[in-house]
């Protein structure tokens, strides 16, 4: 395999189990025990460090920064951040948090790296890609995973009806799941022959959405 191919495979295997994570920048209020090294997750010249032993022992931690700005994308993955804001969980921990919707994943990542955002809801593949230099290079730490997949591959009504015609088992209000792309292969081949190949979209190159869609298609030979 070429180096890019190996890198792509590594990213896909790493992010498969989760699609969204919470990222915190240096001095973002996560807190450290007295005298412990501080986390420096979004820097370009030093590896991040945390006093893991102190955290496990439950030592008292002081707030590094009580006022925070956290970015998110308007997806269900952002629910933990929004709920924590609306129900006062941040305030209960002594944090004054502003949550701010971002235009897209690239803008969100850039603003975390630049320090404009103290933290963000992010695609699981983004901190990995940034840390190893796939695109923008920066050391980033994942605070915790916010979901475990739950994505769906959706086709248009026109394509779905063509898939049903290709596979009668799909012609039901409750077709058997999981649905493979075998019927879509018939449709894809027909449209390619007609000069109108299928046009499929995904949100970001290192997103689980991208890897899942590619895997689903490849399994059917598309």
Which range marks the domain in which residue 79 is found?
3-145
Do residues 184 and 159 touch, judged by C-beta distance below 8 A? yes
Residue 150 lies in a domain: no
Confidence of residue 88 (pLDDT cuts 50, 70, 90): very high
In a shared domain, residues 54 and 129: yes
Average pLDDT of every residue of the chain? 78
For 96-118, write each residue's pLDDT tens digit: 999 999 999 999 999 999 999 99
* Partners of 139 in beta bridges: 43
Q: Rounded to two decimals, what is the model's pTM? A: 0.59
- In the prediction, which pLDDT does 205 show? 87
Last residue of a domain, one of 145, 166, 194: 145
Residue 27 φ/ψ region, left for φ over 0, alpha for ψ in the -120 to 50 degree band, beta for the rest: left
The number of beta carbons lying within 10 Å of the beta carbon of residue 119 is 24
Residues 171, 135, single domain; the answer is no
Instruction: Compute the CA torsion angle 149, 205, 98, 141 (nearest 10 deg).
Output: 80
Pull the structure tokens for residue 168. Answer: 């009668």
Task: Please indicate, yes or no, whether residues 199 and 91 belong to a single structural domain of this protein.
Answer: no
Q: Strand, coil or helix: what is 145?
A: strand
φ/ψ of residue 177, rounded to 5: -110, 155
113 and 206 housed in the same domain: no
For residue 32, give the CATH number of its domain.
Answer: 3.40.190
- Based on the fold, state whether residues 86 and 178 are members of the same structural domain: no
The number of beta carbons lying within 10 Å of the beta carbon of residue 77 is 23
User: Can you list the alpha helix ranges (DSSP code H) found in the chain?
Assistant: 3-15, 52-56, 79-86, 89-92, 105-114, 125-131, 157-166, 182-193, 208-219
Q: Tell whether 152 is covered by a domain.
A: no
Q: Give residue-wise pLDDT tens across range 16-50.
A: 444 566 766 544 444 322 222 233 334 433 333 34
The pLDDT assigned to 31 comes to: 36
Q: Which residue has the higher pLDDT, 35 or 185?
A: 185
As for how many domains the chain has, the answer is 2
């Amino acid at each position: 395999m070429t180096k890019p191919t190996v890198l792509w495979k590594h990213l896909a295997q790493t992010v498969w189990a989760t699609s969204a994570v919470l990222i915190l920048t240096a001095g973002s209020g996560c807190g450290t025990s007295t005298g412990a090294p501080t986390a420096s997750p979004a820097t370009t010249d030093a590896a991040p460090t945390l006093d893991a032993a102190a955290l496990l022992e439950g030592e008292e931690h002081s707030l590094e920064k009580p006022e925070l700005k956290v970015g998110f994308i308007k997806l269900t993955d952002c629910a933990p951040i929004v709920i924590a804001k609306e129900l006062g969980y941040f305030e209960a921990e002594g944090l004054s948090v502003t949550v701010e919707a971002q235009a897209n994943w690239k803008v969100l990542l850039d603003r975390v790296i630049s320090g404009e955002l103290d933290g963000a809801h992010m695609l699981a593949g983004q901190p990995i890609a940034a840390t190893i230099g796939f695109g923008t290079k920066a050391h980033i730490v994942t605070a915790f995973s916010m979901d475990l997949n739950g994505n769906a591959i959706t086709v248009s009504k026109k394509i779905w009806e063509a898939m049903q015609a290709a596979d009668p088992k799909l012609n039901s209000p409750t077709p058997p799941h999981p649905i493979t792309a075998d019927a879509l292969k018939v449709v894809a081949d027909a449209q390619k022959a007609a000069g109108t190949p299928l046009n499929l979209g995904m949100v970001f190159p290192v997103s689980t959405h991208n890897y899942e869609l590619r895997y689903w298609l490849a399994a059917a030979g598309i």
